[in-house]
Amino acid sequence: MAHLLMVESWVGSMSGLLPRAIREGGHTFTFLTRDLHHYLRSAPERGTHPLLGARHVITADTNDAETLIAEAERLHAALGFDGVLTSCDYYLPTAARIAGALGLPGPDPEAVHHACRKDATRRLLAGAGLPGPRFAVHEEWSDLARAAREIGYPLVVKPVDLCAGMYVRRVDDEAQLAGAVNALAGFPVNARGQRREPAVLLEELLDGPEVSVETVSHAGAVHVVGVTDKSVGGAPAFVETGHMFPAALTPADTEAAGRTALDALEALGLTDGVVAHTEVKLTSAGPRVVEVNPRPAGNRITELVRHVTGIDLAAAFVDVCLGRVPDLRPTDTGLRSAAIGFLVPDRAGTLEAFDGRSPAEEPGVLEVRLAGPGTAVTAAGSNNDYLGHVMAGDPDGPGARDRVEDLLAGLRAGLVIR
């Protein structure tokens, strides 16, 4: 039995999936957080929050990396850890640094830092000769306006250090650019109390569908588990509205997406101790990396993979953080595709009800999670604004996405927001 140190977590699906994988692997964990109430606010109505299944729950300033490393060293001497991990993007570099300081398995901290900074990723991939969009990084408005004219509209505005699609916007002219830059400037501190970098990333708008490549890196080898498709809505924002695994692609496109992700991970140095989620656009000029996330996929994509292949990416993450060989052998689950669709609100108000029959009663449904009456609703601007999701599988082929879309249409028809 191993003992892991978990430094913070997302409050979404990984806050349950990762503790479950640790427990089912026969291990335990100590949970380190600066604000336990951040998680208690999202606790299920019944039962104990999965993170409170930790052997120890310890409060520390997780935003002060230097002090935290010293604290982790003291805890390690008393409790003994075998690995360090987190599912939260904002603490991935810190977790990697702690693992290195304690002499435990883990990815290269500098590589993780570069992957978590969208501007650093762009520079390193370009330096490695990987084709990508034209881009520029600036802080001052005059520089941004000039760079936008040079790249050409339409383009995409991105913060360099946020996630979940927050403040990522398409802009078609200088007025929209100014609005996007001003909105981003008005968010100087992220949801975890960390001061943000003021730099803004501008990118050429890429054409074509977007997919993600799910990979596991261990001992210098990177294994492609599969490719997931993605649907996006909420323009001018980029809100993920659904996913299907495996993506309904030609063998050539599947191979090209996988190869692009492998090249990106190699260029960044993410070849050990990482379960990664690399987003790729299949453009008319060939595949292009959107971003590299050095942690398991969110939006329950790991569950889509598990339902179809039997491969548990949360468990693989635990294994590689312990320096162990992950079990990536596929099994026949009886499903050929699995999909998830999100209920994305397009207006603000208060959720009153979902009228009509629950999708949970329908055949082929794997999961249904819906917000309750009284929930405050905002028009979706990122992946943090969903009102729920439906997941379904298809035992015969790539029909899971169509099934989910039909179920979502019924939910939308019965959605009451006042």
Q: Report the pLDDT value the prediction gives residue 39, as an integer from 0 to 100.
A: 86
Domains 207-333 and 335-418 share a fold: yes
Q: Report the pLDDT value the prediction gives residue 124, as an integer from 0 to 100.
A: 98
Write the Ramachandran bin of 208: left for phi over 0, alpha for psi from -120 to 50, otherwise beta.
left
Among 40-49, 127-136, 293-302, 401-410, whose mean pLDDT is lowest?
40-49
- Four-way CATH pick for 207-333: 3.30.470.30, 3.90.1720.10, 3.60.15.10, 3.30.470.20: 3.30.470.20
pLDDT > 70 in the chain, percent: 98
Among 307-311, 329-333, 358-362, 396-400, whose mean pLDDT is lowest?
358-362
- pLDDT band (50, 70, 90) for residue 37: confident
Is the pLDDT at 324 greater than 90? The verdict is yes
pLDDT > 90 in the chain, percent: 84
Q: Evaluate whether the domain defined by 3-104 bears CATH number 3.90.700.10.
A: no
Among 137-146, 255-264, 266-275, 370-379, whose mean pLDDT is lowest?
370-379
More confident residue, 179 or 37: 179
pLDDT digits (tens, 9 = 90+) for 263-285: 999 999 999 999 999 999 999 99
pTM, rounded to two decimals: 0.95
Bridge partner list, 243: 230, 340
Boundaries of every domain in the chain: 3-104, 134-204, 207-333, 335-418
Q: Which of the 8 DSSP states describes residue 324?
A: P
Is the pLDDT at 43 greater than 70? The verdict is no
Among 240-244, 371-375, 413-417, whose mean pLDDT is lowest?
413-417
Q: Report the pLDDT value the prediction gives residue 47, as an integer from 0 to 100.
A: 66
**Pairwise CA distance, residues 33 & 71, whole Å:** 12
Per DSSP, helices labelled H in 80-117 are: 92-101, 109-116
Is the pLDDT at 327 greater than 90? The verdict is yes
Average pLDDT (290-317) is 97
The CATH number of the domain covering residues in 134-204: 3.30.1490.20
Angle between helices 109-116 and 251-268 (to 10 degrees): 120
The CATH fold assigned to 335-418 is: D-amino Acid Aminotransferase; Chain A, domain 1 (3.30.470)
**Pairwise CA distance, residues 55 & 60, whole Å:** 16
Give one DSSP letter per residue of 260-298, joined into a string: HHHHHHHHHT--SSEEEEEEEEEETTEEEEEEEESS--S
Average pLDDT (73-86) is 98
Torsion over CA: 289, 295, 299, 300 (sign): positive
